[in-house]
Structure 1
Amino acid sequence: MAGHFEALPGGGAAVALDEVEVSILRSLAVQLMELIGPGDEPVEGEDPLAALFAEGPSEAPSDPALKRLFPDAYADESDELRSASADFRRYTENDLRTGKREHVLAVIRSLDALTPEGEGDEVVLKLTADESRAWLGALNDLRLTIGTRLEVTDEDEGGELYRLPDSDPRKPMVLAYLWLGALQESLVETLLSGA
């Protein structure tokens, strides 16, 4: 089970993680949460229903990773489609951010709930079906973010990025990207096999 998800009854999944893996996953999740942003809480005394109808931003984020997480609805740069993309973003981005925050919070909470039995021991993370889906969304967002920072493209599959020397400062990020990809693939296979 180490490093591979296995199916649990009821559609959940379990994976054995060591202390270092838990620490890395938690750190990456917290960083992703900071990148996505804290969310808008209604000001005390204001109508919380009004927050549901608040409009989001109409401009794409300038950060390439955020732009990848919250892409334009239309790639065409014509004035008409640029306007349609702005409208789409205005009415959907707040909900998308909320969903991504909820996925990352589910990861952080489940990692924080783990109790290692001894130093260096592996712990078994057990996820419900809903938690598994949240993890899948968060793993995907983590990979998109890291891949954007590394400037990974479709042409990079099996390319030089994967054969970096240990002295390259990007090497830890590449290893995290590959590890998260293996975790994500394992979780997808597990959820599909339990369906």
Structure 2
Amino acid sequence: MEGWTRKNGHVVAKLSQQEAAVIRGLVGQLKDMLAARAAEAPQDELAELTGIRTGPTTPPEDRVLARLLPDFFRRDPVTGETDEDVADAAGAMRSLHEPALLEAKTGVAQLVLETCPPLGGRVKLTGEQADGWLSALNDVRLALGTALDVEEDMPDDLPEDDLRREHLGVYQWLTWVQDSLVAAMMA
């Protein structure tokens, strides 16, 4: 991949078969994780009658999912006070808001899977689709970064015996892909 460019109101790039496979594989895995979390939502008769969806009240146990679905707290914009310490407030907020967050995250993952050619090739995105790609790439990077324990002061090249070495290269490549997409969108 040579990077994203802007042409005639679209953002375009050409992916090799291997690059497309990496993106599709990671985004597909992320989508599956998010779908499994969505399936944990409680069945609620009132939700079925009103159409108001509810989600789990507890955060995910998996640390990657916990990074993608952080706790929900209300913060007063004037005083800065938070309900973080109020019993069950975070669980109630999670139950109300997590279904929409999961829907948004699985939606952008599906968009990437629909617009990324399985055998590689040209990708042509509208502005809205490019925003979706950015969100999905960000989620994949957060997930992979959490799994690899990526830290700000981590060296670019890990020792040969570090099991994270090869995967860190994928993380760095995804960072470049995301950065290239941002630059093309801003051009």
Structure 1 length-normalised TM: 0.79
Cross-structure match for 1:43: none
Deviations 1:96-141, CA, capped at 9 Å, x for gaps: 00110010011111124x666xxxxxx2211111211110000000
- Tell me the equivalent position of 1:79: 85
For 1:95 and 1:144, how far apart are their aligned partners in 2?
A: 19
Tell me the distance in 1 between the aligned counterparts of 2:173 and 2:18.
Answer: 13
Supply the distance in 1 between the matched residues of 2:98 and 2:146 (Cα, whole angstroms).
Answer: 19
1:101 equivalent to 2:100? Answer: no
* Alignment partners' CA distance in 2, 1:115 and 1:18: 8
* Partner amino acid, structure 2, of 1:79: D
Aligned AA (1:179): W
Distance in 2 (alpha carbons) for counterparts of 1:66 and 1:51: 28
2:61 equivalent in structure 1 = 62
Match in the other structure for 2:157: 163
**Conserved 8 A contact 2:11-2:125:** yes
| Residue in 1 that maps onto 2:142 | 144
CA drift of 1:52 comes to 3.5
Q: Residue type matched to 2:3 in 1? A: H
Which of residues 165, 178, 182 in structure 2 aligns to 1:184? 178
Q: Secondary structure at the match of 1:153?
A: coil
Question: What TM-score comes out, normalization by structure 2 length?
Answer: 0.82
Say if 1:99 and 1:53 are closer, same or farther in 2 by CA, change over 3 A.
same
Distance in 2 (alpha carbons) for counterparts of 1:124 and 1:141: 23
Partner of 1:111: 116
Query: Aligned partners of 1:132 and 1:51: how far apart in 2?
Result: 34
After superposition, the Cα gap between the structure-2 partners of 1:166 and 1:128, relative to the gap in structure 1 and judged at 3 Å, is: farther
Which runs of 5 or more structure 1 residues have no equivalent in the other structure?
41-45, 117-122
Q: CA 1:150/1:77 → structure 2, altered by over 3 Å: closer, same or farther?
A: farther
Equivalent residues of 1:13, 1:132 under 8 A apart: yes
Amino acid in structure 1 at the alignment position of 2:123: L
Aligned-pair CA distance for 1:78: 5.4
CA deviation map 1:54-74 (0-9, x unaligned):
211111111111111110124
Query: Per-residue deviation at 1:92?
Result: 0.6
Kept after mapping to 1: 8 A contact 2:73/2:84: no
Conserved in 2, the CA contact under 8 Å of 1:3 and 1:183? no
Question: Once the two structures are aligned, what percentage of the paired residues are identical?
Answer: 29
Which residues of structure 2 form unaligned runs of 5+? 40-44, 75-81
Task: Write the distance in 2 (CA, Å) between the matches of 1:7 and 1:169.
Answer: 37
Question: Amino acid of the residue matched to residue 59 of structure 1?
Answer: T
Distance 1:189 1:64 in 2: 31
